[in-house]
Amino acid sequence: MQITVNGEANELNEAEINLAKLLDIRQVESPEMVAVQLNGEFVEMKNYTSTYLKTGDDVEFLYFMGGGSR
Amino acid sequence: MTTTITADVFQDLKGVGCPMNLVKTKVAFSKMKSGQVLGLILDNGPPINNVPRSVIREGHEILSQEQLDDGTWSVLIRKA
Amino acid sequence: MIDFTEEQLERYSRHILLDDVGVDGQEKLLQAKVLIVGAGGLGCPAALYLAAAGVGTIGIIDSDIVEISNLQRQIAHFTKDINVSKVDSAAEKMQAINPDITVKTYKDYLCAENITKIIEGYDFVLDGTDNFPTKFLVNDACVFLGIPFSHGGILRFNGQTMTVIPGQTACYRCSFRTPPPPDAVPSCAQAGVLGAIAGMLGTIQAAEALKYITGVGELLTNGLLTFDARTMAFRKINLKRQVKCPLCGDNPSITRLVDAEQSVCELKTDPVAA
């Protein structure tokens, strides 16, 4: 299955894969620090396991970034 | 050649180098109406080489430019 | 129309020379009011550049004092300023660069109770805070009051920023929804940060503020600019307003300002999130 993750083309061997598994494969250390966007739409964390990907999907991991003051 | 057009606003920029001569030209234009004429005195060298070119780039029209006896240039520009 | 003094003409000559800024743009800058939230890594470079640019009134809010560990990246604070309030330290440098401008200092911590009173009347807000509760609060207050703002964040070698025009473009909640749980958040203190990226990001935010005020070009809206300084790869991720955004969507559930610490606590007792 061919999907785009953070702007880069990715070939996945899995026939079926949900967002939770994708976060795992991509070794996202703390999923709480990532907001996920699928084809331009925000996906709630509680829906990661029920959201299955299909060929052509465009996934963005948006990292929470604080920093700045202290 | 005689110039029949007279300037509505006049700025003597003798001794004013680049880029302050252009800054002052832009300030003068900002207080003028479209179609009015600005008369400038510019030094020979970089000022006469640069200021008219820059005002053309901003869409204004050079009506005339002539060198005076002291080597400076008299330039008339119509505001866009 | 402002009558520029000779000194002002020289000081702002490089702005006036720009076709897109010019005399008009510089006048707008001198009449503008920008609030900088946080006098730290992002707020410092932004404050210096906005002061230098002649932004007429700059507010700066921070309740901290300068510590030696700040000096690696918080460029407005000097070694002599250790133990001085950050806003006083920053204001001193801003006025030293440009005595033309007015700097308003707030030795305060933004919260739901005081934010409206503080940010009301500013034309643009630049978020340079270190924590998510305040980032969300700034977003919410700006959306409620219709004040455009720049979001910014840095971590390790990475930075991100986006500009929000409330009611027109994606807000921070459209994409990030709710603050992450506090225990998951690494701070600069825990994670570290390459000093210079604070300057990279803070100056991008300052440029956005200057663009907004002068109307030059296109703002960084509906897009999150991210960079990784290890490779110097920059990316602009397209974002859009989300109809389900709890703040600026079609059926908003957030209708008043609350301190986000509270909502995080609420999240923890929410069986779905637990």
Count how many domains chain A has.
Answer: 1
CB contact under 8 A, C184 and A32: yes
Report which secondary-structure segment, H or E, holds A37: strand A34-38
Mean pLDDT, rounded, for C190-200: 92
ipTM of the complex: 0.91
Low-confidence ranges of chain A (pLDDT < 70): 68-70
pLDDT band at C270 (very low <50, low <70, confident <90, very high): very low
Which residue in chain C is spatially nearest to A40 when comparing CA positions?
Answer: C239
pLDDT for res C127: 97
Say which of B22, B27, B57 has its CB closest to residue C4.
B27
User: Would the CB atoms of A62 and C244 count as touching at under 8 Å?
Assistant: no
In this prediction, residue A66 carries a pLDDT of: 86
* Half-sphere exposure for B46 (CA within 13 Å, toward CB): 8
Question: Tens digits of per-residue pLDDT, C7-37?
Answer: 999 999 999 999 999 999 999 999 999 999 9
A70 domain residue, yes or no: no
pLDDT over 50 at C104, yes or no: yes
Report the alpha-carbon distance of residue C267 to residue C269 in Å, rounded. 5
Q: Residue C224: which of A33, A46, A62 has the nearest Cβ?
A: A62
Please give the CATH number for the structural domain made up of C32-269: 3.40.50.720
pLDDT at C273: 32
Banded model confidence at residue C189, pLDDT cuts 50, 70, 90:
low
Residue B38 corresponds to which tokens in the numbers above?
């600005």
Interface touch C23/B19, C-beta < 8 Å: no
Give burial (CB, 10 Å; 0-12/13-18/19+) of C174.
buried
Determine if residue A28 is left, alpha or beta; phi over 0 gives left, psi from -120 to 50 gives alpha, anything else beta. Answer: beta
Whole-number percent of chain B with pLDDT over 90: 92
Q: Which two tokens stand for residue B58?
A: 């901003």
**C187 → closest Cβ in A7, A63, A70:** A70
On whether residue A58 sits in a domain, the answer given is yes
Alpha-carbon gap, residue C30 to A24, rounded angstroms: 51
Cβ of residue B80 closer than 8 Å to a chain C Cβ: no
CATH code of residue A53: 3.10.20.30
CB C105 within 8 A of CB C60: yes
Q: Is residue B60 in a domain?
A: yes
How high is the pLDDT of residue C188?
A: 58
The reported pLDDT for the residue numbered A15 is 85
Q: Residue C191: its pLDDT value, please?
A: 81
A53 within some domain: yes
Closest-CA distance, C19 to chain A, in angstroms, reads 33
Mean pLDDT value of segment B1-18: 87
Q: Would you state the pLDDT for residue B2? A: 58
Q: Give yes or no: B18 in active site.
A: yes
- The domain in which residue B34 lies consists of 9-78
Q: What is the DSSP string of C64-83?
A: -B--GGGTTT-TT--GGGTT
| Domain region containing A43 | 2-63
The answer to whether C17 and B22 are in contact (CB under 8 A) is: yes
Which residue in chain B has the smallest CA separation from C11? B20
From the list C180, C193, C272, the residue facing A64 with the nearest CB is: C180
pLDDT at C271: 35
Q: Given B7, B8, B9, B18, which residue is catalytic?
A: B18
pLDDT tier, B1 (very low <50, low <70, confident <90, very high otherwise): low
Q: Does B33 touch chain C (CB under 8 A)?
A: no
CATH value at residue B14:
3.30.110.40
**pLDDT category of residue C187 using cuts at 50, 70 and 90:** low
Residue C33 phi/psi, 5-degree rounding, is -125, 120
Q: How confident is the model at residue C202 (pLDDT cuts 50, 70, 90)?
A: very high
Which of A4, A8, A70 to mutate to test binding with chain C, by most C CBs within 10 Å of its CB?
Answer: A70
Task: For residue A69, tell me if it sits in a domain.
Answer: no
- pLDDT for the residue numbered C266: 36
Total count of domains within chain B = 1
Mean pLDDT, residues B1-26: 90
Asked if residue C246 has pLDDT above 70, the reply is yes
Closest CA to C126 of C217, C219, C195: C219
Is the Cβ of B19 closer than 8 Å to some Cβ of chain C?
Answer: yes
CA distance linking residue C16 with residue C23, whole number of Å? 5
The string over C109-132, giving b where at least 16 C-beta atoms fall within 10 Å of a residue's C-beta and e elsewhere, is ebbbeebeebbeebbbbbbbbbbb
C-alpha span between C15 and C34 (Å, rounded): 18
Share of chain C above pLDDT 70, in %: 93
Task: Tell if the CB–CB gap between C23 and B20 is shorter than 8 Å.
Answer: no
Indicate the DSSP class of residue A46: G
Region B59-66 average pLDDT: 96
Chain B partners (3+ C-beta pairs within 8 A): C
B34 touches chain C (CB under 8 A): no
